[in-house]
Amino acid sequence: MHVPDGFINAPVSVAAGVVAAGAVAVSLRGARRELGGTSVALVGAERTAPLAGLVAAFVFAVQMLNFPVAAGTSGHLLGGALAAILVGPFTGVLCIAVVLLMQGILFADGGLTALGVNITVMGVVTVLVAYGLFRGLVLVLPRTRRSVTVASFAAALVSVPAAAAAFTLLYAVGGLTDVPIGSVLTAMVGVHVLIGIGEAVITMLTVGAVLAVRPDLVYGARGLAAPLKLRVGGELVDAAPAEPARVAAASPRKVWLTGLVTAFVLAGFVSFYASASPDGLEKVAADKGIDKTVEEHAAAGSPLADYGIEEIADARLSGGLAGVIGVGATVVAGTGVFYAVRRRRADGDRDTAVRSSV
């Protein structure tokens, strides 16, 4: 659902850019707690920082895997639900923003003037809708790992048509083509419900896989187990939680390496077999005449434009290398951002401790 340049007029694009920038600024503050929290409620947060860069790279890789959803139409993961559940909603918004920035600059995928629109639709809306529904379901379902996977499926499923509806709303206000908005909304939501099923399956399987080996690394699964109660001075208090590393079978480093290798394989090899049909937005845009105003991407001359390397004639090799480069660039950029956010949180904690001791 990458919106290209020329779909939305300048005023609405600027407004969406302001919303996206505000969301990123708020997320930077919120991510400091998710990545570097020190309270009992956030035990395990210190392990989220290295995972966040991996999640961004994994989302990038899986977005290259378009899957068929209807005749002549394909879809791909948006990733907001997956990122929010794995590393937290604020960090999730930053993950999607990093992915979209890499795709726009390096691969000419998603317009640069539409970057704010894409972050708002694919990042902010998907995360807000998915994580809000996820938390609501987790609260009412039994406190088990199965409930987390069920909730992740439902959250991802709903988040995709919600993003489609958000794009339609923006197009209704700032679209450059005179088309019946009702028919656009029906077409967008209809095809993205189908895409949402694929997104839900991918999200559920990925969350379930991490839960199976390191449940403490899943942000949305923290606090599932009821804390042990101890009687102290006649009152019941929560006992300190057990150290996850003593009971977990896989180290965070092993999980990170396994995830990174998986992302490289998906982007470098499996992506060659992805559906070549246009995705949901491209199909609707062509059918409704929205794409008449599309503009050439500012980075169309990039060596990696359209997920290929121009100098390499072999399509399989060209696309595979481009995918590997993309995953590598995303994990480096994402890890750098999240390390800086966590470092700033740690510095703030030290400053607070110093002031408290004075």
DSSP per-residue codes, 203-254: HHHHHHHHHHH-GGG-GGGTT-SPPPEEEETTEEEEPPPPPGGGT-SS-HHH
Is 31 part of a structural domain of the chain? yes
pLDDT class of 39 with cuts at 50, 70, 90: very low
Q: Find how far residue 6's CA is from the centre of its chain.
A: 25
245 pLDDT higher than 50: no
State pTM to two decimals: 0.89
Q: State the Cα–Cα distance between residues 221 and 202, nearest whole angstrom.
A: 17
pLDDT of residue 154: 98
| Residues in contact with 224: Cβ distance below 8 Å, sequence separation at least 6, in sequence order | 143, 144, 145, 148, 215
Residue where the block lists tokens 């390499």: 312
Q: What is the pLDDT of residue 234?
A: 63
Sign of the alpha-carbon dihedral angle for 269, 317, 72, 293:
positive
d(CA 239, CA 87): 25
From the list 270, 9, 191, the residue with the least C-alpha distance to 116 is: 9
| Residue 304 included in any domain | yes
Place of tokens 């403490």: 216
Structure tokens at 67: 């899957």
**Cβ neighbours, 10 Å, residue 348:** 12
Angular region, 54: left φ>0, alpha ψ -120 to 50, beta rest: alpha
Q: CB of 332 within 8 A of CB of 98?
A: no
Band of residue 250 on the pLDDT scale cut at 50, 70, 90: confident
Domain that holds residue 331: 10-223+247-349
pLDDT in the model for residue 310: 85
Residue 232, in any domain of the structure: no
Beta-ladder partners of 74: 68, 279
Say if residue 42's pLDDT is above 50. no
- For residue 146, count CB atoms less than 10 angstroms from its CB and return exposed for 0-12, middle for 13-18, buried for 19 or more: exposed
Instruction: Say if CB 129 and CB 164 are below 8 A apart.
Output: no
- Residues written for the chain: 358
Residue 358 lies in a domain: no
Does residue 76 fall inside a structural domain?
A: yes
Q: How far apart are CA 288 and CA 320, in angstroms?
A: 33
CATH number at residue 90: 1.10.1760.20
Closest CA to 51 of 34, 38, 27, 63: 34
Longest CA–CA separation in the chain, Å: 76
Has residue 242 been placed in a domain?
A: no
| The predicted structure's pLDDT at residue 229 | 52
- Residue 343 domain-assigned? yes
* Average pLDDT rounded to a whole number, residues 307-316: 92
User: 349 exposed, middle or buried (CB, 10 Å; 0-12, 13-18, 19+)?
Assistant: middle
d(CA 165, CA 95): 22
Q: Total structural domains in the chain?
A: 1
Higher pLDDT, 135 or 235: 135
Going by their DSSP bridges, the two strands 235-238 and 73-75 should be labelled as: unpaired
Q: Which residue has the higher pLDDT, 170 or 38?
A: 170
Q: Is residue 43 scored above 70 in pLDDT?
A: no
- 235 located within any domain: no
